[in-house]
Amino acid sequence: MDKMFRKLCVKRGSRVSTINDWLQIQIGGTEDVKKKKPNNQNRIKSTKYTLLTFLPQNLLEQFRRIANFYFLVMTIISLLIDSPVSPMTSLLPLVFVIAVTAAKQGYEDILRYRTDNVVNRSPVTVIKNGVEAIIQSQNVAPGDLIVVERDCDVPCDLVILRSTDPHGKCFITTANLDGESNLKTLTVPRDLPTVPIEEMHKLGMIECETPGTDLYSFNGKIELAGGEGRVLPLSSENVLLRGSRVKNTECVIGCAIYTGMTTKLQLNSRLTRNKTASSETYVNRFLIFILIALIAIVTLLYFLKRYNELFVIPKLTYLGPAADGYSVKQFLQDYLSFLILFNYLIPISLYVTIELQRVIGGFFMEWDNELYEKETDQQCIVNTSNLNEELGQINILFSDKTGTLTKNEMNFQQCSIAGHKYNYKKTRLEEAETKVLSDINKFSMDQKVFFQALAICHTVQVATSMTEVAPVENAANKQETIKSGPPEMYSISDITEESHNSSQHSELNVSNTIETSLSVHPNGVNATVTSSSDVNPLLFSDDSYKVERRKRPQVVKRSPNFARSNKVHIASPGETPDSGTSANGHSSVGLHSPPIMRPISLQFQRSTSERDLPQFGEAHNGAALGHRRAHSYGAPNAYLTSPVGNQTPPVGGLFRAGSTVSRESYAAPTFTRQPTMLIRAESQRRKQEIQQTLCLLDYQASSPDEKALVEACANLGLVYTGDDDEVLRVRIVPPHLDYKRPINSGKPKEDAFHRLHVLEFTSDRKRMSVIVRDEGGKKWIYTKGAESYVFPLCANSSADMVVKTDSHISDFARLGLRTLAIARREISDAEYQEFVSSLAQANSSLENRKQLSEECYSKIESDLDLLGATAVEDALQDDVADTLVSLQAAGIKIWVLTGDKVETALNIALSCGHIPPDAKKYIILECKSRDDLLVHLNVLEREIVFGIGQECALLIDGKSLGVALAEAPKEFRDVAVKCTAVLCCRLSPLQKSEVVALIKSSNENYNTASIGDGANDVSMIQEAHVGIGIMGREGRQAARCADFAFAKFCMLKRLLLVHGHYHSVRLSFLVLYFFYKNILFMGIMFLFQFHTLFSSSSVYDSLFLTLYNVIYTSLPILFISLTEKPYTEEKLMQNPKLYKKNTDNKQLHWPYFLMWTLFAVYHSVIIFYFAYCIFSFNNVILNGGQTAAFSCFGTLLIWAVVIIVNLKLWLESMYLSFWYIATLVLSILAFMVTTVIYNVINLDYDTDIYWAYNNLLASLPVWLYVLLTVIACLLPDFTLRMLKRGLNIKTFSIFPGKQRKLEMRRKFESTYL
C-alpha cells in the first residue's frame, strides 16, 4: 500500500497553466497521472556555482584579473619559444595562486549550499487524498495542500483554505518580509464551503495573477467545482506569503500558488553577485601602469639590441655573425624573450598574498571578543573575506530600523490625563508636578476611564505557549476520555486545567497549568485517550479516520480568559484516588473547608498546596467531581474559608483575615508589625503574579504600541484577559493593598464589554476605533490614534483639554516618545443602527467601497470627549545613539530605509541620533508626479545652499520615492546625498535595493554598506558594496546572505572604526610594498642588459626567480599585513575622525605609488652599481685570491636585494613584535640556507653557481659590500622619516606611514620590544 501511495504521489502532477498572464492552479493537484510532477519546484538557490560550472566559471573570474591573465600568456609563450628562463618560473606561481583562490571561493560556496539545504530539505506536511504526508520543502509544487502549524514558517506562498480558528482567521508575523514583528490577521476566503479533508482537492481551481514583487497586493479568484460554479474573489488578506510565521493559530491549510524562486519573498531578493573591493580598482590601475612600462622597456631593449646587432656586433668579430634581425621568427624570439625576462614586474604572488591576508584577517574579526555576544553565544561571522578592507571605505550606510536600530520593544513611559501629566512607575502613576504616587485604589474617575479605554481599545489577541497535556479524572467512571471532532472542539468548556504549583495562584486564577482537550465523539462514543498523539485537529472527520503520526506534545488553543469553569484535581504521588471524596464516600460539592491557621513559620511563605499545612489531614475535603480546584493560600477565599466566630488562634498561628462585618476592618490599621508586613508581602506577591500572568497570557498585537499599552494597564491592575466571542474581559486586580480595606475583598471584579465593531487603523485615517456595549447596555466608541487626526474629532467641550494635552504631547515628542491621543463618547441606539445600516450598504457596494466605509467611520467618529494621550518609548538597541553619532563623526552619511510608518520612523530617528536635533527637517509625502517631486527637490536644494553650515535631514515616503526612482532618479540622488541624514519610509524590499543601486551609480563613486536583520533586508544587503547582517529576532536569513554578521548594532562601530581602519591600512601597505620589491628586483635586470649588449640573458638563476616572491619576501609582509596597527584600538574608538584618513583609498593614490616606485629605482641603482664597481675595478674578491665568476655577480645581487627589501619593510612598519622581527630574520636566513644547499649540488640546469655562494660567504669584501649597500639604500628613507618627525612636516608622506602615529615607537608604547 505504501509503495502504491508513493507511486501515485510521484505520478500526480500539479496543473499550472498560463492564460492571458494569469495562472490556473488545480487545488490539490490534477489527477492526470500521465504528467510526472517535476521535482525541486520549491527550491531556493543562493549559490554561485554548481559542480559543472565551478571550474569554468571560477577560472573565467580569476583570469579576468590582469596579473593572472598576463602570467597565463607568459607561461604559454615560454613553452613555445626558446625562453631565457625556465617556464616553471611562471607556471608554478600561477598554478599555486589559481588553486588557493579557487579553494577559498569553492569553500565559501559550499557553505552557502549547506545553508540552502537547511531550508530546502526541511519537512513540510502536505495532504494527499485526505491523508497527511511529509515531504521535503523543495518538492512542494503549485496546487499542493500544505499544513502549517503554529510557530512554523510558511514554505511557499499559499491561499488559506482552512483554519482552526473558529472565525476562520489566521494570525501571522511578517518580520522576514517587511521587518515588522507585529501580529497581522489573515482570513479564509468568505463563503468558502467547508468540505471534508478527503474532498478538499475537489474544491475547484485557483486563478491568479503571475508572481510579482508587491507584498501587499494580490488578485485572484477561486472557481468552485460542481454544478454551482460560484466564483469567490481572493485578495492579499487570503494569501499567506513565504517568510511569514503562523502565530496564535494552531493550524492552517493552504493551497500552494507561488513556489521556489517565484515567491514574493524571493522576487524581492537580488541574485547573488560577485562583490569586489574598491582597492582592486587601484591595484588594476597600478598593474596597467606596470604593464605599459613593461611594454615600453621591452620595446626599448629590443630596438637597442637591433642597433647593436647592426652597428656593434659586426665590429666584434669574436662574437661571430649577427642573427638575421629581419626574419619574423627572430623578431618574435627576441621580443618575447625580453617580455618573459621582465614578466616579474607583474607581481603574481600579490593576489595570493592578498587572499591569505583577507582570510586570516577574517578569522581575527571572528575571534574578536568585543564582537562576541555572551547572551546568545554568538561571535562575528565573516561570510565574504574579500571585502575586509571595504569596511574602512564606507561613505554611506543604509540601515533598516525595526530590529536593527530598535529592539521593536515598546515601553509605556508617560501619559496625559484630563490635562495632567503623569509618569508611569510600573504599578503606580506619578504626577509630574507634585511627584505624588497613586495606584489603582486611589485613581480618580478620569484616570480609571482613561486606562479602561486603553484596556479595551485595541485588537490584541491573547495566546499561551503551554503545550502540556494532563489526564482527566472522571468521578463517575474513573476513565480517561477524549473527544474527537471538528475544529470547533477548541472552546472554553473543552479545556481543563489544574495547577501544578499553587504558588502561582492568585486572584487572577492563573497558573502554570496542565491542559488537555476534552471532547466527546459526535456519535456519543467515548474514545480512548490520545493525549500524546499529534493528530491534526483539522483532520478529524469520523471515527474511521486513523493516521500514524509522529509523537509530540499536543498544542491546544488556550482560552483567553483566566477563570475556567471546569477545573480538575491532579493527584500527587502518594495521594489515593479517593482523596477527592469525603469520609462517607460522597463528593463534597459546595462545602466549605474548615478554617485553616497558618503557622508563624509560614506567614510570608506561600505553601505549595494545602497538604503542606499541619492541619491538612483534618481539613482536606478534596475536589468535587474532578472539576473543583483544590484551593491553596493565595486563592481568593484562602484567606477566609468560613465565617469567623469567636475562634482563638492557636499558639504560633495567625489569622489570614479578619471579619468582614467589623467596622474596624475599614478603619486605619492597627500599627502592629505582623499585619503591616503581611500587607506588604501580599502586595509584593500580587505584583509578581501579575508579571507571571503577562508571561502566560502572551499578548499578540498588530502594533507593538498596543501591546505596551495593554501590558501597562495590566501592571496597574486592569488585566485584559482576552475576548471570548467578541466579549472583552478586563479583570481588576490591584497590585497594592489598601490599608483602609480588608485583605479579603471577595472575588476580583471583572468588567465585560461586548465588542460590536472594530474600525481598523489605516495609513490614511491614522487612528483606530472600537464600538463596545458595556454591562449596563450603553454603547461607547473609543478612538485611539495620532493627535493630529484625533483632536479635530473632539467636541468643543474638550477645547481646553485639547490645548493642555497638545502641550504635553509636544513635551513627549521632544523626548523622542511615540504619542497617541485617546478619546471616547457614548452613542445612542438610533445612531448606532444608522451606522450599522450605512456600513452594510457601503460594504455591499462594488465601487468606492473603501471611500464609502471611511465616510461611515468619520461620521460616527465625531464629537468625541478627549481623555488624554499616551507616550511610548521604542526601546533602542544598546548604545545605538553613540554608534550613530560616532559614525557620522567619521564622515559616514546614514540613510534609514524602513517599511515602517512615517511618524514612527521619524520619532526613532530623532531619539537615536540619526537626525541631529538642530537639523532642518524637510518632509516629502504623497508625491504623485515628477513635477511635484521636482518642486520639493528644488526647495530642498535651496535650503541646503543658502543654509550654509546648517544640517538638513530629508524624510520621504514610499510613494514619493517610487516616483523619484522611476521618473527623476538623478535629480533625487544629487539632492539627497547633500543631506546630513535621509529617512525613507514605507519601502518594499525591492525599493530598498533600488535606492542603494541609485547611490552606487553616482559619479562620486560612493562606497556603500547596508545593515539589516530580516529577510526583507536581503536585497538591500546584497546590493550594497558591503552587506552586514544582524542575528536578531527576525531569523538568520539576513546574516546568511550578508558579508559580515554579528549580534548587536553597536558592534558596527568597532567593525568599521577599528577593523575597517586596520584592514585598509594593511592592504595599502601590502600592495605598495609588493610593487616596490618587484620593481627593485627587475630594475637590476634592466640595468644588467646595458652591459651585456642587450642579449636578453638573466642576471639571476632560475631558482632565485622562482623563490623570490614565494619564500624570500612573502612571510614578513603577510605577517605585518595582519598585525599592523597605526593607532591603538582605544584611540580609534575614541576619535572617529581618524576613520576619514583612509576613506577613498587615499593611501593607494598615485603620489604614494610613485614615491614607492622612486625608492625602488634608487635602491636598484645603488645595489647594481655598487656591485658593478667592485667587479669592474678589482674582481679578485675571494679569499683564495682567484677572480669571481659571473655566477658570483648574480648571487651577490640577489643577496643584497633580499636583505634590502626586508629591512625596508622593517623600517616602514609601526607595530613591531618579536614574532614579526623573527619573520624578517627567517626570510633572510631562508635565502642563505636554500642558496647554500643549491650551490653545493652540481647542477648545470640554468646557470652554473656551483660553490659560488660559499665563496662569497667566506669573502670579507663581500660582507663589507653588503653592509655599505644597506646603509646607502636605507639612509635616505630613515633621514626623511626623522626629518618629518623633527620638523613636524604636515605635507603628505611618501610612505603609508602618513596614516600611522606621528610618535613612531616613542618609548616603545605600541611595540613589544
Residues 415, 417, 422, CA angle at the centre, nearest 5°? 45
Cβ–Cβ under 8 Å, residues 712 and 704: no
Residue 6: left if φ>0, alpha if ψ -120 to 50, beta else—which one?
alpha
Cβ–Cβ under 8 Å, residues 899 and 986: yes
- The closest alpha carbon to 289, from 345, 339, 352, 340, belongs to 345
Cβ–Cβ under 8 Å, residues 1069 and 1120: yes
Work out the end-to-end distance of the chain between its first and last CA atoms, rounded to an integer number of angstroms.
79
What is the C-alpha separation between 248 and 700, in angstroms, rounded? 8
Annotation marks residue 400 as catalytic? yes
Cβ–Cβ under 8 Å, residues 423 and 429: yes
- The closest alpha carbon to 100, from 385, 387, 388, belongs to 385
Which whole-number Å values give the CA distances from 578 to 334, 477, 587, 636, 858, in the listed order? 110, 13, 10, 26, 63
Catalytic residue among 144, 165, 334, 400: 400
Query: Please, how many CA atoms are within 13 Å of residue 187, restricted to the half-sphere of its CB?
Result: 9
Radius of gyration in angstroms for the set of CA atoms belonging to the chain, rounded to a whole number? 40
Within 8 A by CB and 6+ apart from 473, the residues are 568, 569, 571, 577, 580, 626
**What's the count of helices (H) and strands (E) in the chain, helices before strands?**
35, 40
Mark 856-879 as b/e (b = at least 16 C-beta within 10 Å): bbeebbeebebbbbbbbbbebbee
Handedness of CA 1043, 1048, 1052, 1058 (dihedral sign): negative
What is the C-alpha separation between 873 and 237, in angstroms, rounded? 30
3 state DSSP class of 784:
strand
**Residue 633 C-alpha from the chain's centroid:** 47
Show the cell assigned to 893.
552619511
Which whole-number Å values give the CA distances from 35 to 12, 29, 130, 259, in the listed order? 7, 11, 21, 19
- How long, in residues, is the chain? 1313
Within 8 A by CB and 6+ apart from 649, the residues are 597, 655
What is the C-alpha separation between 258 and 146, in angstroms, rounded? 12
**Cα-flanking dihedrals φ and ψ of residue 95, to 5°?**
-60, -40
Mark 47-79 as b/e (b = at least 16 C-beta within 10 Å): bbbeeeebeeebeebbbebbbbebbbebbebbe
Within 8 A by CB and 6+ apart from 483, the residues are 489, 494, 517, 518, 519, 520, 521, 527
Which whole-number Å values give the CA distances from 1100 to 70, 679, 1107, 1197, in the listed order? 21, 96, 11, 8
718: part of which helix (H) or strand (E)?
strand 718-723
DSSP 8-state assignment for residue 271: P
Which whole-number Å values give the CA distances from 968 to 179, 508, 936, 962, in the listed order? 27, 60, 12, 10
72: part of which helix (H) or strand (E)?
helix 66-80
Within 8 A by CB and 6+ apart from 915, the residues are 906, 909, 921, 953, 980, 981, 983
Residues 898, 904, 910, CA angle at the centre, nearest 5°? 95
What is the C-alpha separation between 244 and 839, in angstroms, rounded? 32
> Which are the catalytic amino acids?
400
